[in-house]
Amino acid sequence: MKKISLLLSLFIIFSCAKDSSELTVYTSRQPQLIEPIVEQFTNETGIKVNLLSGNAQELMERIDIEGEDSPADIFMTVDAGVLWQAAERDILAKIDSEILNENIPAHLRDSKNEWFGLSKRARTIVFSSDQFKDNDFSTYEDLADPKWKGKLCLRTSKKVYNRSLIASMIDAYGFDKSKEVVSGWISNLATEVFSNDTNALKAVSSGQCGVTIVNTYYLARLLDDPEYNNLSLFWANQSDRGVHVNISGAGVVKTSKNKKNAVLFLEYLSSNKAQDFYASANKEYPVLIGAKIDESIENWGSFSEHTINVSKLGSLQKEAVFLAQEVGYK
Cβ-based neighbours of 216, under 8 Å, separated by 6 or more: 121, 122, 123, 124, 233, 283, 285, 297, 300
Is 217 annotated in some ligand binding site?
yes
Q: Is 329 annotated as a binding residue?
A: no
CB 252 within 8 Å of CB 94: no
Residue (of 45, 53, 56, 54) closest to 22 by Cα position: 45
**Cα separation of 183 and 198, whole Å?**
23
The Cα 251–Cα 15 span in angstroms is 24
Task: Please state, in angstroms and as integers, the Cα–Cα distance from residue 135 to each residue in 138, 139, 145, 184, 223, following that order.
Answer: 7, 11, 15, 21, 22
Listed as own residue / partner, the contacts of 48-51 with beta carbons closer than 8 Å and 24 or more positions apart are 48/21, 48/22, 48/23, 49/22, 49/23, 49/24, 49/25, 49/265, 50/22, 50/23, 50/24, 50/25, 51/25, 51/27
Residue pair 313/147 in contact (Cβ under 8 Å)? The answer is no
> How many CA atoms are closer than 13 Å to the CA of 96, on its beta-carbon side?
0
DSSP track, 212-239: EEEEHHHHHHHTTSGGGTTEEEE-TTTT
C-beta of residue 95 within 8 angstroms of C-beta of residue 109: no
Q: Residues annotated in the binding site for Fe cation, as ranges?
A: 217-218
Q: Residues annotated in the binding site, as ranges?
A: 217-218
